[in-house]
Amino acid sequence: MKNEIRHYISGILIACTISACNLNEQVYDRLDATVYYQNEASIKGAVAAIYGNAAMSYLEYFWYLQEFSADQVAWRVWNGGLWGYDEGEKTVISTHTWTVDSKIIRTTWETAWGTIGLCNTLIGDLEKLNAGELGMTDAKLQSYISEVRTLRAWAYYNCYELWGGAIPLYTSADVSTIPGSADEDFQTGCRKVYDFICTELDESYPYLPQEDGSNATRNRMNQAVNRMIKMRMLLNSGVFTGTARFDECARLAQELLDGKFGTYSLAADYRDIYHVTNTTCPEVVMAFAMENGQLNAGWMRDMPFLAYTYSEYFDFSSTQSAWNCCCLAPSYDNTGTVNPTLGCSDGARCFLEPPYNDRLGAVYERFDDKDIRKGNYTWENGNYSGIFLRGLQRAKWGTGDVLKADADRDGMDLYYTDQVGQFEGATTIGRTLEPVMSPRWGQTNSGVRLVRYPIYPESEGKDFQDIDDVEFRWAEVYYTLAECKLRAGDAAGAEQLVQQVRKRYFASEADAKRYKYYTSVDMAWMLDQWGQEFLCEGRRRRTDLRRFDKFTQGQWWFFGRATDGNYPAKRDRKYEWFPLPASALSVNPGLKQNPNY
């Protein structure tokens, strides 16, 4: 009896304890995945996250791989090879010496698949959802699915440009399968991925909106973007699959120009493309929406090029800090008489002239002297002019006090020279000057800097971080069609198309037709035009160099010349494609490394 009572007591105590304990995890500051989709707003939220993820990935990591590895933009190390060296992680991209362990390649891979993974998750969910239950029409749901499929096709396209047929093709969010490369064979993989992307684009574009001039579609995937990605696929088909499709590409470009996929036109004033009002610019097909306090990639906006004193130059204040790490590929070597006051040399030789005769790199001098963009960035009458920073730098767009340099030229006048090298400085540290030096040795004043997007003076009350980041613009269709015509033997047609864009940079059409280093409208000329029009827009390696077989085979700047490293004039073709990162291979036995690595 006594024992029974004790058992009762024990039983009651156990029951109390267990009921007090709820072993299911209670979520508060996040949403349980099973209750996420509640209405159209939740779908919109999921789409918004993908755009944000994609923007951050493309604006930073893809830009590194596509521009540093090419001939126009370099990651520069200064202060005796110390500052910005970053364990060589970015320098190896510029010098074509990356390996499977390169951290930049790894992060690019990770952020890229983040975008694809988010697309896969959302598409998988959307296909299971009932539009009616979410208070939507089936057409609206279909439109979201198509938008995300196009986003995913584009995300795949960006990976494809870097890693070719080695990437996996996976459209599910199921983590119980770990998909290997598209195919055991790299080339077969290339064709499979090519077909996959094209099919995805072709199937989804009819459900996307067309731009009708109301500017409603310029921040999202629309029909024209979809077709322009297809156009890029066709233009580069030879590089991707070994089969050129220039004719088909030309037809699609013409359809685009005919307005079949939306109404666009070239901006008469190129600055309209880059202003904070650029979503009303008819040339902008798609731009990532940016706003300080919302989605903000301000740390990448011009900042890699600018020095710490930039806010004095632009006469404004900002919380973004400049990196002082990037410069344009220099136009001059380091011969001649060293001028220690400015940190440059007088009488240096231009890489476009003998004995070099380059047609790549040498960005500043490839721009014609009469090009209205070729000048230091200044602000007058409520608008800017010039997109470069070169020569002696003074505050307030060259009108104020001389700005001072730092680090290896600490306290000296800041003079950007169109050269890269270790000139005499206040404290000489690092290597001594050589005729051609690699970006590992660029004193703090080395190289011309680029201001692709305007930085508004404080008085304007506009924030440069609010400018939308242009990813697709109408001029690309003109250039694509021009190249197709040129390849088809129609040089006049090609030039005429290029001139329609180019004339906006010159006072007269005659000036626009001066091509100082190019005697005829040929492939070298075309490549030069691509480079000038889309300078630093994140596509030089792919759109230009590889299709013209210059990426590893073309010569510019330090390749074959600098003594501080083994940089052959022509690189190994294995660097045409990037390697899959070792970290990805280690957790996915099905991945087949790009056969050259």
Residues 63-82 touching other proteins, rule: CB under 8 A, are 79-82
Q: How far is the CB of 385 from other proteins (least distance, A)?
A: 25
Q: How far apart are CA 178 and CA 158, in angstroms?
A: 21
Tokens of 474: 């109408």
Residues between 548 and 577 with contacts to other proteins, criterion CB under 8 A: 564-565
How far is CA 307 from its chain centroid? 21
Q: Which amino acid is at 52?
A: G
Question: Three-class SS string for 152-203?
Answer: HHHHHHHHHHHHHHHCCCCCCCCCCCCCCCCCCCHHHHHHHHHHHHHHHHHH
Does 337 bind other proteins (CB under 8 A)? Our answer is no
CB of 554 to other proteins, least distance (A): 26
293 vs 382 by CB, closer to other proteins: 293
Interface with other proteins in residues 88-107 (CB under 8 A): 88-89, 103
Among the candidate windows 186-194, 390-398, 472-480, 579-587, which touches other proteins by CB under 8 A? Answer: 579-587
Q: Mapping DSSP to helix (H, G, I), strand (E, B) and coil, where does residue 558 land?
A: coil
Of residues 299 through 318, those in contact with other proteins by CB under 8 A are 307-309, 311, 316-318
Tokens of 169: 């093709």
From the list 192, 220, 230, 473, which residue makes contact with other proteins (rule: CB under 8 A)? 220
Residues near 488 by Cβ (< 8 Å), separated by ≥ 6? 246, 247, 250
Q: How far is the CB of 49 from other proteins (least distance, A)?
A: 3
Residues 167-186, one symbol each (x = binds other proteins by CB under 8 A, - = not), give: -x-x-xxxxxxxx-------
Q: Residue 488, interface with other proteins (CB under 8 A)?
A: no
Q: Which of 207, 209, 170, 177 has the alpha carbon at shortest distance from 192?
A: 170
Binding status of residue 578 toward other proteins by CB under 8 A:
no
As measured in angstroms, the least distance from the Cβ of 383 to other proteins is: 23
Q: Give how far the C-alpha of residue 543 lies from the chain's centroid of Cα atoms, to the nearest Å.
A: 12
By CB under 8 A, the residues from 435 to 474 that bind other proteins are 444, 458
CA distance 579 to 577: 7
Q: Which of 11, 15, 39, 44 binds other proteins (CB under 8 A)?
A: 44
The span from the CA of 7 to the CA of 456, in Å, is 80
Residue 142 near other proteins by CB under 8 A: no
By beta-carbon proximity to other proteins, the closer residue of 117 and 493 is 117
Residues 343-402 that bind other proteins (CB under 8 A): none
32 lies in the binding site for other proteins (CB under 8 A): yes
C-alpha–C-alpha distance, residues 96 and 574, integer Å: 10
Binding of other proteins by 214 (CB under 8 A): no
Q: Does 4 bind other proteins (CB under 8 A)?
A: no
Q: Which residue has the tokens 């198309």?
A: 497
Among the candidate windows 30-38, 339-347, 382-390, 502-510, which touches other proteins by CB under 8 A? 30-38
Total residues interacting with other proteins, rule: CB under 8 A: 104
Q: Report H helices in 172-289.
A: 186-204, 223-235, 237-241, 246-257
What the block records as the tokens of 9 is 């007591």
**293 is an interface residue for other proteins by CB under 8 A:** yes
Tokens of 236: 């580069």
Please, what is the angle between helix 491-502 and helix 523-533, to 10°? 20
Binding to other proteins, residues 47-66 (CB under 8 A): 47-53, 55-56
* Contact window for other proteins (CB under 8 A) among 39-47, 267-275, 481-489, 519-527: 39-47
